[in-house]
Structure 1
Amino acid sequence: MTTPVHRLKRTARSRHTALAALAVLAVALSTLTACGSKGSGVTLELSAPLPDKVPGGTVIRIGDPTIQSIVQVSGLDKELADAGVRVQWANISGGPQSIQAFRGNKLDCSSVADIPSLFAAWTGTSTKIIFQSVTVDPLQHPIYELGVAPGVKVTSLADLRGKKIAYSAGQAQGALVLRVLQKAGLTQKDVDLVDLTSTGDSYVTALGSEAVDVAPLGAANVKVYEEKYSSGSAIPTGIRDDAATIYCLTSSVQDAAKAAALKTYVAVRTKALLWQNQHPDEYAKAYFEDNQGLSPADARAIVALDGTAGIPASWDNADQRLQQTADLLAEQQYHKKLEVSTLVDRRFEPVEAAAAGSDLVTGDAS
């Protein structure tokens, strides 16, 4: 059967954009080194219990900037050290950066939403999700809103018809755009998707320069955008977008020493999120002021928008949502069907639950 021309063009365009983004990111990753990694070299079967004891000298390379700030200000770094876990922190998060680092064996794990694990699989990089968290009342505290360019009239999802929308196929923002179109009863043919990787304030700039009419913006960038462009605006998507994970190279999870260290890291990370809930002002200062350079007022405002982080009692619902997303992307972006259970290492699920104790969220906060 002949492949439609529009399908060939869109697929080629997405691949070209992804390759260009990865080439640019290679420079940013040049400071990371593979030699910083130290495991045991002993293979751990993926079905085997996670080891408890961390061998001396084990190093795990983690891209998790927000949690890095929390661990250091809360004193939880001592718990890592006491367990013999050495973390080599990397200022990396998100899909494009982490996948590039994985391919160069310069990173073990990274904090991402749910999409990067899918694209890693589709592009030949084997990873496992070892941590999942949610937002309590996720629709009241969305991660993204739709930024609208100055002078463009978009007050509801139906108004997206015919608009130029920023779109990054391999990022959470791209999947969100497809889900928004689905909710609005629109297809890709009803809009103009503009390939643009979301890095820093790239979407803010694209909106301000009218390169696009609409772009998904995170909470911090919504504030930046509305302050920089007084006639700009943003509207809610009405879609749950709170997926938050840690994913790792499968080879790192299969290293017995690193697996033991990651078991400890998952427990400490759980405690860090709960600490964040209980200490919003300290969290705002440690990450948004000291790390991101925001003013105290802006830092507190963003933390208030973030909502409360939750540790789910079960990963069942998160995995179901991930499967639905994988199915949508497979259909809309012409990928192979993917069984997401192969991407999730549920041996870490009870580790997370035990660390949360009575603070577990039941019903997956939905």
Structure 2
Amino acid sequence: MIKHPRGTVVAALAVVLALAAGCSEEQAATKLELTAALPDQVPSGTVLRLGDPQIQAIVGASGLDKELSNVTIEWANISGGPQSIQAFRADKLDCSAVADIPSLFAAWTGTATKIVFQSVTVDPLEHPIYKLGVAPGVSVTSLADLRGKKIAYSAGQAQGALVLRVLQKAGLSQKDVQLVELTSTGDSYVTALGSKAVDVAPIGAQNIKLYETKYPGASSIFTGIRDDASTLYCLTSAVEDANKAAALKAYIAVRTKALLWANDHPAEYAKAYYQDTQGLSEADAKAVVEIGGTKAIPANWDAAVTRLQETADLLATEQNHDKLDVTTLVDRRFEKVQAAAAGDKVVTGDAA
């Protein structure tokens, strides 16, 4: 055994400590304050775990994936509140595409998230996300007819919030109807209507034709309520990671361009997502895209935040949640990123 002089051992120990300190400083430097500017440079090898299947298909079809060469994206076939919150809690996902409700329920259930993207629908009342499906043999031709009806209801999903807003518009309370707790997954609401387990349920507008064809005597009505909220929300810890924040900045710009590309290439969009990944026929895929209308990027998020606050206040009252300041859930640093990417195609006024 070779014996090292004491001085050599001390020197070696000093080097080890210095390297350890350097590593600690490097790790600390990756923490980004929520008030700090978003980094421009994406370190090579940065990974984003995204549940954004529609945009995944569009990015691939449009060639926009080339603009994300410095970002390693691990795509997950996840979207919507229940799945995304579960994945967040298991630390399996950074961000997910959802409506506006999941961010509220994440906050109410102790999962810290930030909204980093907002889009809207042009002429939202003419292109609703949902219509109210009515079970065969049940007479509902107006919102007033909902009194006494069994209505499918999922508290933590956009459909649940829509039901409460519909009741509010109709001048009805929860006591005036029978809310049937039922999570909306796949065609669960369609099946519940078809079997007459419920009288009424919010159904995605693209599924209404299928529902009415499958069940003779089925019908549907418009809600007359704006329901086009569409966001990308992320774990706060992901946004606080400097490397991921830089990658998100790049992704939000590409995501913006992807939505606008889909507007200009509806046939390619229909094929890339609804045909190739959802298994719809060419005709049905085309119909779904037409029903969905044109998506747009708002010049700012003021109107979206106001609507989110109104929804949060309604849910706090109707579902006995704590009052919530929704500005704490929105990372408006990304507002300028998507507006810049959209350029002169941003929208203002009622559409936003």
Fold shared, TM-score > 0.5 on shorter chain = yes
Q: Deviations over 1:172-229 (max 9, x none)?
A: 0000000000000000000000000000000000000100000000022212211211
Partner of 2:275: 289
The residue that corresponds to 1:349 in the other structure is 335
Query: How many residues in Structure 1 have an aligned counterpart in Structure 2?
Result: 326
Alignment correspondent of 1:265:
251
Secondary structure of residue in 2 paired with 1:263: helix
Cα deviation, 1:269-313, whole Å, max 9, x if unaligned, reads: 000000010000110111111111011111111110111001000
Distance between the aligned counterparts of 1:196 and 1:85, measured in 2?
Answer: 38
In the alignment, structure 1 residue 173 sits paired with structure 2 residue 162 = no
SS of 1:248's equivalent in the other structure is strand
1:136 CA displacement: 0.5
Q: Matches of 1:149 and 1:282 in 2, distance apart? A: 35
Q: CA RMSD for the aligned pairs? A: 1.1
- Is the contact made by 1:267 and 1:351 (CA closer than 8 Å) also made in structure 2? yes
Instruction: Give the match's secondary structure for 2:224.
Output: coil
Structure 2 segments unaligned to the other structure (5+ residues): 1-25
**Kept after mapping to 2: 8 A contact 1:40/1:256:** no
Larger displacement relative to structure 2 (355-364 or 341-350): 355-364
Pairing 1:111-190 to 2, within 5 Å after superposition:
111-190=97-176
> 1:22-44 CA distances to partner (integer Å, 9 max, x unpaired)?
xxxxxxxxxxxxxxxxx977100
Alpha carbons 2:206, 2:292 under 8 Å: kept: no
**Structure 1 spans left out of the alignment, 5+ residues:** 1-38
Map 1:323-338 → 2, pairs under 5 A: 323-338=309-324
1:56 aligns with 2:44: yes
Q: Residue 223 of structure 2 corresponds to which residue in structure 1?
A: 237
Q: How far apart are the structure 2 equivalents of 1:335 and 1:281?
A: 43
| Matched letter for residue 237 of structure 1 | T
Please identify the structure whose Cα radius of gyration is greater: 2
SS state of the match for residue 124, structure 2? coil
After superposition, the Cα gap between the structure-2 partners of 1:273 and 1:364, relative to the gap in structure 1 and judged at 3 Å, is: farther
The yes-or-no answer on 1:102 pairing with 2:114 is no
What do residues 134-160 of structure 1 show as CA deviations (whole Å, max 9, x unaligned)?
000100100000000000000000000
Task: Note the C-alpha offset of 1:114.
Answer: 0.3
How much identity, in percent, do the aligned residues show?
75
Q: Does 1:362 align with 2:348?
A: yes
Change (3 A) 1:40 1:196: farther
SS in 1 for 2:196: coil
TM-score scaled by structure 2? Answer: 0.91
Aligned partners of 1:253 and 1:309: how far apart in 2?
25
Q: CA deviation at 1:230?
A: 2.4
1:70–1:286: 8 Å Cα contact kept in structure 2? Answer: yes
Q: Which residue of 2 aligns with 1:252?
A: 238
Paired amino acid for 2:59: V
Counterparts of 1:64 and 1:137, CA distance in 2? 24
